[in-house]
């Protein structure tokens, strides 16, 4: 697949790039995508939720009333889960939600995500750019050049340019990350994909994983 390379002002340059069909033109596997997205979101969970059970909630263990002869059910202590202010029954406790996923499945999922973006014509290749200092307005102007200021965008750069990252950090619908770190969730979560020209080589390295 061959795409034109654009300048950051939105105009076309004389250059073109070829996207590897082994990444951008595969048979999409929706199940692999589902597994990888589930894995990514599970790994983001802190798992620090905790509740108080009968052994940890504070309160007396004295019986609330005599157990027999009242004509009603027996009542335990004030820490009973059936009483307001009592303990929680079978509540959540700290745990690790992460799980292992084979590298081949993760790679297939990423390639499927890139393929979907390519088929939808949502990929824009731009010349490499950098900022001398964090400039949110300058980054917004780049998005406006492609009429993407109101769309969810993911920009893939070939190196960790801190100024470019900081320029987009305050924008709710824009995200900047290294191409080598691109994952299935971020690619699919973005409406449009902006790829810097030299980032194509980093994406091609995924074939060798």
CATH for 29:
3.40.1370.10
Q: What would the mean pLDDT of 46-75 be, rounded to a whole number?
A: 90
On the question of pLDDT at 159 being above 90, the answer is no
- Whether residue 16 sits in one domain with residue 6: yes
How do residues 111-125 score in pLDDT, each as one tens digit? 999 999 999 999 999
Question: Are 61 and 154 within one domain?
Answer: no
Tokens coding 202: 């980093």
* pLDDT for position 160: 72
Shared-domain flag, residues 16 and 111: yes
What's residue 194's pLDDT? 95
15-31 tens-digit pLDDT: 899 999 999 999 999 99
Verify that 111 and 203 share a domain, yes or no: yes
Note the pLDDT of residue 209.
Answer: 64
Range of the domain at 153: 2-45+99-208
- Note whether 16 and 197 are within 8 A (CB): no
Average pLDDT of 90-117? 95
Question: Where residue 138 falls among pLDDT bands split at 50, 70, 90?
Answer: very high
Q: What percent of the chain has pLDDT over 90?
A: 68
On average, the pLDDT of the chain sits at 92
Judge if 71 and 39 occupy the same domain.
no
Q: How far apart are CA 155 and CA 161, in angstroms?
A: 12
How many distinct structural domains can be found in the chain? Answer: 2
61, 91: one domain: yes
Integer Cα distance of 147 and 157 in angstroms: 20
């Amino acid at each position: 697949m061959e795409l034109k390379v654009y300048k950051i002002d939105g105009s076309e340059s004389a250059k073109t790039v070829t996207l590897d069909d082994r990444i951008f033109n595969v048979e999409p596997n929706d199940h692999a995508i589902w597994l990888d997205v589930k894995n990514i979101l599970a790994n983001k969970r802190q798992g620090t939720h905790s509740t108080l059970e009968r052994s940890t909630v504070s309160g007396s263990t004295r019986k609330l009333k005599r157990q027999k002869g009242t004509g009603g059910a027996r009542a335990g202590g004030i820490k009973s889960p059936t009483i307001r202010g009592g303990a929680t029954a079978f509540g959540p406790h700290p745990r690790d939600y992460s799980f292992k996923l084979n590298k081949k499945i993760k790679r297939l999922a990423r390639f499927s995500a890139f393929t979907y973006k390519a088929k939808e014509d949502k990929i824009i290749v731009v010349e490499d750019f950098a900022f001398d200092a964090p400039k949110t307005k300058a980054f917004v102007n780049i998005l406006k050049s492609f009429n993407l200021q109101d769309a969810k965008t993911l920009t893939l750069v070939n190196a960790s340019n801190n100024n470019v990252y900081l320029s987009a950090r305050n924008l709710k619908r824009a995200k900047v990350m290294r191409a080598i770190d691109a994952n299935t969730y971020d690619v699919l979560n973005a409406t449009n994909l902006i790829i810097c020209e030299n980032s194509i080589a980093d994406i091609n390295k995924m074939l060798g994983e």
